[in-house]
A = this chain, B = another copy of it.
Amino acid sequence: MSAPPEKIPQPTIERLSAYLQCVRLMRAQESATASSSEIARRTGINAAQLRKDLSYFGEFGTPGLGYDLRALEAHLSRIMGLDVERDVLLVGAGNLGRALSSYTGFGRRGFRIVAAFDVDEAKVGTAMGPVRVHHLRELAAVNAELGAEVGVVAVPASAAQVAVDALTAVGVRAILNFAPVTLAARPEITVRNVDLTSQMEILSYYLRST
């Protein structure tokens, strides 16, 4: 019931997050219920796709009526593992790291940045959002206490692999990487890349021929 019964397509997982966002918004707008086609319209995802995606995890709708948004939000949250608070280690105290540490969106979804690290002695000891910056060499000691399993890498490309190795060595199992490099990690580690340059290049492709 908590582990998915069959194999879930990876694109499905990525869409679940979009559905959840939509459901939260509709709830905030005082809707109690919605059909798959209403959610489809708002997310830009096909209605049959939505129903199939949900069907991998259970039957959450009522034929003739649609989905109860409160229940659907709860189901999606549980499916995504968002019913647990997650502690997050942030590596990199540059501009991006600072922006991330004061980004309230994470906290609102149960991700709490509990410590920050950098190798630049000038940054060590300074405050960053709600946390203090440690030297990266203290990572093991700090996380021995915290036991965080999520890491964010916001360092230059040349330092990213070191950061990943350090994080995985202290038990981190999921990493959000902002550095523009392909990282090596053991297969049981989940790494997601948020590469701004790459995104811009993809936009550029679609502007071609002008």
Contact = CB atoms under 8 A, between A and B. Distances in A.
A145 interface: no
A141 interface: no
Nearest to A82: B204
A205 B16 contact: yes
B109 A200 contact: yes
A196 B154 CA distance: 13
Quick one: copies of this chain in the complex?
2
A207 B174 contact: yes
A25 interface: yes
Contacts of A16: 201, 205
Interface centre among A16, A43, A80, A111 (most CB of B within 10 A): A80
Given A81-B205, A150-B203, A95 B86 contact: no
B204 A106 contact: no
Contacts of A210: 149, 173
B198 A18 contact: yes
Contacts of A43: 182
Interface residues on A, range: 35 or more
Interface in A153-198: 173-176, 180-182, 190, 192, 194-198
Interface string A1-35: 01100000000011011101110010000000000
Given A99-B95, A182-B44, A196 B150 contact: no
A62 interface: no
A202 interface: yes
29 contacts: A2-B209, A3-B209, A13-B202, A17-B198, A18-B182, A21-B181, A22-B182, A25-B181, A43-B182, A79-B208, A80-B202, A81-B204, A81-B205, A81-B207, A81-B208, A95-B98, A95-B99, A95-B102, A96-B99, A98-B99, A100-B196, A103-B196, A105-B196, A105-B197, A106-B197, A109-B201, A149-B207, A150-B200, A173-B207
